[in-house]
Amino acid sequence: MKPSLAKGTRDFTALEVSRRRYIINILQKNFELFGFQPLETPSFENLSTLTGKYGEEGDRLIFKILNSGEYTSKVNQEDWENKNHQKLTSQISDKALRYDLTVPFARFVAMNHGKLTFPYKRYQIQPVWRADRPQKGRFREFYQCDADVVGSESLWQEVELIQLYLKSFLQLNVSVTIHINNRKILSGLAEYAGITDKLIDFTVALDKLDKIGKDGVVKELLERGIAQDSINKLDFLFNQSNDALENLLQLKEKFAGNEIGLKGVEELEFVLTQSVNLGVDIQNLVFDITLARGLDYYTGAIFEVKADEAQMGSIGGGGRYDNLTEVFGVKNVPGIGISFGLDRIYLVMEELNLFPEEATANIEYLFANFGGEETLESLKLINQLREKGISAELYPENAKLNKQFTYAEKKGIKNLVFLGEEEIKTNTIRFKNLETGEQTIISQQEFLG
């Protein structure tokens, strides 16, 4: 049988692994600079932990795990015959691969809140799985790199996370814009349009604006039972200016007497103003009133990061989720978190040729194999290089030199070292730089530095 990969998954070559590590190392360093500590959680959770946290569409994308053994033995026969998949799922599966890192984190906090010091700041870099339709930049298995703070309602956390985003992308040399909104503003808009009972339908449809356009959003709103009169009242959403403060002023007028909407405007004004006071270029921040992020658990600020020079959708996102641990029986633990999309960041950096040379883990020296005593002497030098943290290897067989040259070139090894009978006698080495073609003869002592 011809081997194949499951759709939406990938193998990673040495070059790809090295480049991914380069991104992860920068993110990890910045997480720790900002006071976040590492956490890891299991790759799968109880299904009940995950369901009901991501909205109807998110729940459909959770990868369920079949129960072990005769999982059909306890299935209700009527449900089986009627092919009632919703009822059958709970009978044949009680675990699932994690959909994101936020809900498992909330579960961890709920289980350990008596032992944690609040505010509790953690970062997590692990894979997640979604039964999504694979396309460019969208995979079924991918890494998330999250930073979350729980136990603080302070809006300075939002300001700090904006700085964390901008510092990290600056070091990665990726020019970005952070789109920001507030779920209270979206709740205020629903109240303004008289569709408070349709808030989730409204935000889920609005979140698709960049994918299906205004006409597509309007069509979906109608399909979800939202009246045309209400949609007409919201038409101004699709005609925003580039001036964030002007847009906020327009909202204040529309939200007169609308408590939750005005609260959202006030919070957003604070975050934008204080970010600018700390030196953030306002050009890097966009108040995007149509940004919804279709996850049910957000309650305040929401972020989405987009690359300025590549068409890739969001390469990061997050928001405030003040009630998430409540579903696990622990109240009054406010939280906020952001995520970096490792896979999409990689694709952007690859497309724009932004990876530096140090992001490639090339071997510095390949020692040619001449057999006999030369092999032993080569390995002695190789061991000394490795002690100094310099990568080196010996070609395993005493093969023709052109074969050894080809091996070095294909692996991207920088230098081919010759330690033959003459070099051993004179205590020298001869090596060739395979990038420039230059050959050098120096003493072994000088070579080892």
Nearest to 219 by CA among 317, 159, 209, 394: 209
Q: What is the pLDDT of residue 107?
A: 94
Nearest to 395 by CA among 384, 413, 386, 387: 413
Q: What is the pLDDT of residue 138?
A: 83
Whether the per-residue pLDDT at 295 is higher than 70: the answer is no
Give the three-state DSSP class for 184.
Answer: helix
The arithmetic mean of pLDDT across residues 86-101, rounded, is: 84
Give the three-state DSSP class for 179.
Answer: strand
For 100-149, how does the pLDDT look when each residue is reduced to its tens digit (9 = 90+)? Answer: 998 999 999 999 999 999 999 999 999 999 999 888 778 999 999 999 99
The pLDDT > 90 percentage for the chain reads 70
Tokens of 24: 């992860």
14-33 helix and 342-351 helix, angle to the nearest 10 degrees: 120
Tokens of 278: 């700390």
Nearest to 349 by CA among 25, 30, 20, 128: 20
Whose tokens are 């709970």? That residue is 90
What's the predicted TM-score (pTM) here?
A: 0.86
Q: What is the pLDDT of residue 66?
A: 86
Give the H/E segment covering residue 304: strand 301-307
Nearest to 269 by CA among 336, 182, 206: 182
For 391-442, how does the pLDDT look when each residue is reduced to its tens digit (9 = 90+)? Answer: 999 999 999 999 999 999 999 899 999 999 999 999 999 999 998 999 999 9
For 153-181, how does the pLDDT look when each residue is reduced to its tens digit (9 = 90+)? Answer: 999 999 999 999 999 999 999 999 999 99
Q: How far apart are CA 230 and CA 205, in angstroms?
A: 14
The arithmetic mean of pLDDT across residues 336-348, rounded, is: 94
pLDDT, averaged across the chain: 91
Cis peptide before 119 (omega within 30 of 0): yes
DSSP annotation of 392: E
Q: Are 297 and 325 in contact (CB under 8 A)?
A: no
